[in-house]
Structure 1
């Protein structure tokens, strides 16, 4: 096990609507930063909410999350899960992204789990399963 490999999952709410161009710019900057700091992960955008998994060296992940907490494009960031991990789930993505809606491949159970997570039900780790399933279906997409 890599003693320094760490993950953090947080949820937050969009401060304002982000159009496609603004989201692309955010992703471009995030991917460059993440590649430079050995961070991988996935960002899901669901209605006016975000959920993000970050993974990498503990210090890098915590430093990035400190920056994220100050970002004015969203509010109320809340850590859902964090801790050491043995290996990365999203190792090929500096920052995968998906705007979640009814047309995605997520099943209704996954949407329900996302909603429970946003509503404060942090009793288990279902989001990792959801995001892992998304990653497995989309592994060949550059992120």
Structure 2
């Protein structure tokens, strides 16, 4: 793959460094097709990631969060890979190690993770601080409250 730079797109923007990093992350990593997973929106600010991990137990799964990248990995031991005692007539359940990385938004936090019936679920919550929520900026002269405050301080 040749080097691809998005810097011309960000010349006239302020504070979109994270968006640039997101594009870099997307271009560097291939889209995984194993294991299968869903991302659900369960509320206005809540999400759930469900990962199909049939054949794994809790001890073989690991969840890490570093620099807003959620990494889910499953490790199959060499003993399980080289188990010659079993003869499969058909093997449809894959038993291979995997790593799944998902980039989270700046204010998305991991709430909890559960493992039930071969399905790993991770609940996420978006917590945007009040000062960073969208607000309307008034246009024009100072409003009457500001004028009243200024007159009281003089």
Range class of TM-score, shorter chain: under 0.3
The higher relative CO (CA closer than 8 Å, separation ≥ 6) is in: 1
Instruction: Identify, as 1 or 2, the structure richer in helix.
Output: 1
TM-score (norm 1): 0.27
TM-score, normalised to structure 2, is 0.26
Question: Who wins on radius of gyration, i.e. which is larger?
Answer: 2
